[in-house]
Amino acid sequence: MRIGATPNRPRRIANPVLSAMIPAVAIVTGVIAFSQLLKAPPVACVNDASRWNTVWSLVHEGTYVIADELDGEFWWTIDDVKINGRWYSSKPPLYPTVIAGAYWVIHHVSGLDMHEKPEIVIRILLVLFNILPLIAFIWVYGLYLERNVPDPWARGFWLIAGAFGTYITGYSVTLNNHLPAAFGVMFAVYLTTRIVYDGVRCPIYYLLAGLSAGWAAANEIPAILFLIGVLAILGLRAGWRTWAYALPAAAMVVVAYMVTTWYATDGSLIPNYLVKDSPRYNYEGSYWLTPTGIDAAAEPKLVYIYHMLLGHHGILSLTPLWLFAAISMLLFVSGFSRDRAEIQWLTVALSVTVFAAYVVMTNNYGGGAKGLRWTFWLIPLWLAVAPLGAEHYSRSRWARAIALAALVISLWTVLDALQSPWGMSWLHGIYHKQGFVPY
């Protein structure tokens, strides 16, 4: 079969039990995340504090300025930059701007102030922007499995794994840009497969695919490559509707991102987080002049690669489910599987490119985070390709046993992250306690 060919499969692989599981698992995931949200502090660390300061300033001050003097923010943060004597958040600005719109409504309708009642206001906003999209994320993934994975065991296993075994659920109790990027990737992947492999030609599918891919890129700069890939796949396989509907929708998000960046940098189109070697970051008194702990890690590249894959921030050690995604990608590249070729090529290319870029450009693990958070936006792609190679292992008892063991470890990691996303993972704690790493 040629690359890119679509196998003869039914448009929808019916199984009443598995179909009923999709909404049930999605809602249970949301309930678990919500229960943990009620236990978690509204503002967890300096990372989300930077974003919440922006939200508050936009609504109450009408500006992206979060302080006029050092340490003048309501919630103290090290994730800030200094421009023309004033402090701004270093985080991507479009997402906090959207959240500020929701907060504006809450504030003017109820009179609640985020500073005075953070335990109410912030949790409402996290339900709106984390928990509800998480439920939609799992639901859409279930629909993807139903249409693309014929093996019932693989469909059930990966639905459970996608709901409870990834950092998307683990980080749903805190504000961050990784989740909205991952949500955008998942929705774009599902819509793209519906267009390319199911022959859907409804304009709304193209609009939403472009909007979702653009949203992912607006929250994770490397996801620009994903946006380009999605537009290329749609353009080559689905024709003029891509340029008529998907491209304008994506462009709308890009323009919104550029406009918010202009105001959040006091007149620049270069985001704050891309200029870490500039005076914006390295002002007098900045934490980043003398970082400490894991932020100061400067290990040899081989050590860094080890910890990225198998060590204290290891993609495969903390969430070994991705071993099966790696196997599926290897089967695809080796020619044993050509199913959903465009999505598989895109996943392979992005995984290799992003991993190589971080190895070359940095030794940083993303600070005090319980996973390699810069890779979280790739999780929907790994979820998409992992079950495509399932026919090569799903009938083996040994393979199923290994898959279940990998799921148990991943579940433990996600539970650990749900309780406190920012800090040492359980594996990082072991490394530190045993003296293997000083941070």
For 245-299, the pLDDT digits (tens) are 999 999 999 999 999 999 999 999 999 988 888 889 889 889 999 999 999 988 9
Position 70 scores a pLDDT of 59
Nearest of 87, 45, 90 to residue 284 by alpha carbon:
87
89-121 pLDDT, tens digit each: 999 999 999 999 999 999 999 999 999 999 999
Residue 8 has pLDDT above 80, yes or no: no
Nearest of 168, 182, 152 to residue 33 by alpha carbon:
168
367-418 pLDDT, tens digit each: 889 999 999 999 999 999 999 877 777 788 888 999 999 999 999 999 999 9
Position 9 scores a pLDDT of 46
Residue 354 has pLDDT above 60, yes or no: yes
Q: Who contacts 47 (Cβ-Cβ below 8 Å, separation ≥6)?
A: 77, 79, 91, 174, 176, 367, 422
Position 31 scores a pLDDT of 98
Residue 162 has pLDDT above 50, yes or no: yes
Position 395 scores a pLDDT of 80
Residue 4 has pLDDT above 50, yes or no: no
pLDDT band of residue 224 (cuts 50, 70, 90) is very high
Position 59 scores a pLDDT of 97
pLDDT band of residue 364 (cuts 50, 70, 90) is confident
Nearest of 293, 311, 336, 245 to residue 423 by alpha carbon:
293
Position 243 scores a pLDDT of 96
Residue 35 has pLDDT above 70, yes or no: yes
Mapping DSSP onto H, E and C, the string for 77-107 reads CCCEEEECCEEEECCCCHHHHHHHHHHHHHH
Position 68 scores a pLDDT of 83
Burial class (CB in 10 A: 0-12, 13-18, 19+), 343: buried
Burial class (CB in 10 A: 0-12, 13-18, 19+), 103: buried
Percent of the chain predicted with pLDDT > 90: 80
pLDDT band of residue 5 (cuts 50, 70, 90) is very low
Task: Match 């993303």 to its residue by tokens.
Answer: 366
Nearest of 233, 295, 286, 269 to residue 6 by alpha carbon:
233
| Rounded CA separation 232/342 (Å) | 10
Mean pLDDT taken over the chain = 92
What does pTM read for this prediction? 0.94
In the chain, what are the domain boundaries? 23-41+131-433
41-73 pLDDT, tens digit each: 999 999 999 999 999 999 999 999 998 875 666
169-178 pLDDT, tens digit each: 999 999 999 9
Averaged over 31-38, what is the pLDDT? 97
Residue 302 has pLDDT above 90, yes or no: yes
Nearest of 296, 421, 365 to residue 46 by alpha carbon:
421
Averaged over 201-213, what is the pLDDT? 97
